[in-house]
Amino acid sequence: MSGAMTERHTLGEDEAAPLAGLAARVRELIEAAVLTDVGRDEARAVADEIAALTERLRAVRRDAPPFLVTGAHRIDRQAGNPVSGPLNPVAPPVDLDATADGIVRGEFTLNDVYEGPPSYVHGGVSAMVLDQALGMAAAQTGVGGMTATLELRYRRPTPLGMPLTVEAKASRVEGRKIYASGTITGPDGRVTVEATAMFVTPQNFLVQER
């Protein structure tokens, strides 16, 4: 379990690149595991090989996921973030960028690993992507914060295997509260999910940031 206050190692680009490559291969492995039909014996044999590889990676272990050297805010620098972290195989990953006027945007495609209703994206996955994008938009106003409320409106099913766009922007700041909204849009340009959120900056964020 990684503590919030644990000092994080910051990866240089040379360190991050091979770990991102490792995560990309594991992402392929996850999809292969979801879709494989190799049969029981082969599945057991592959599981044994994967267990051996896992032990090799565990041989030298950090106390907590590292940060990246790039990114304006802590939320952008989390290498192991489950939405945008290039080192996290669970993350699609969604490559989120912020414009000078505070709009956070990312294009991404979700494969069968993220299926909810047959052939569509799981609603919790859409929520996770929007939480991250809105959280990053909140951070563009200053320090950012923790999600206090997140409201979603699922307008139409979000397709798997097709290019999606997430966009978010902070609308106002009231003391430690930051309000933001955003959408996921399908390949036809129609919004599939809308979100509004309120983030609250904890007192310790004000001390820890930068």
Interface residues toward ligand MFK, by CB under 6 A: 74-75, 78, 131-132, 135, 146-149, 176-177, 200, 202
Q: How far is the CB of 199 from ligand MFK (least distance, A)?
A: 7
User: Phi and psi (nearest 5°) for 101?
Assistant: -90, 15
* DSSP H or E run through 19: helix 13-35
- Pick 126 or 186: Cβ nearer ligand MFK: 126
- Pick 142 or 202: Cβ nearer ligand MFK: 202
Q: How far is the CB of 179 from ligand MFK (least distance, A)?
A: 11
Q: How far is the CB of 75 from ligand MFK (least distance, A)?
A: 4
> Which bin fits 139, alpha (ψ -120 to 50), beta or left (φ > 0)?
alpha
- Pick 36 or 149: Cβ nearer ligand MFK: 149
- Pick 84 or 160: Cβ nearer ligand MFK: 84
Q: How far is the CB of 186 from ligand MFK (least distance, A)?
A: 23
Q: How far is the CB of 67 from ligand MFK (least distance, A)?
A: 8
Residue 196's nearest CA partner among 175, 178, 174 is 178
Contact 8, 67 (CB under 8 A): yes
Cis peptide before 93 (omega within 30 of 0): yes
Q: How far is the CB of 123 from ligand MFK (least distance, A)?
A: 16
* DSSP H or E run through 22: helix 13-35
Instruction: Measure the CA–CA gap between 93 and 110, rounded to whole angstroms.
Output: 9
Q: How many CB atoms lie within 10 A of CB 73?
A: 18
Contact 67, 10 (CB under 8 A): yes
- Pick 96 or 160: Cβ nearer ligand MFK: 96
- Pick 54 or 203: Cβ nearer ligand MFK: 203
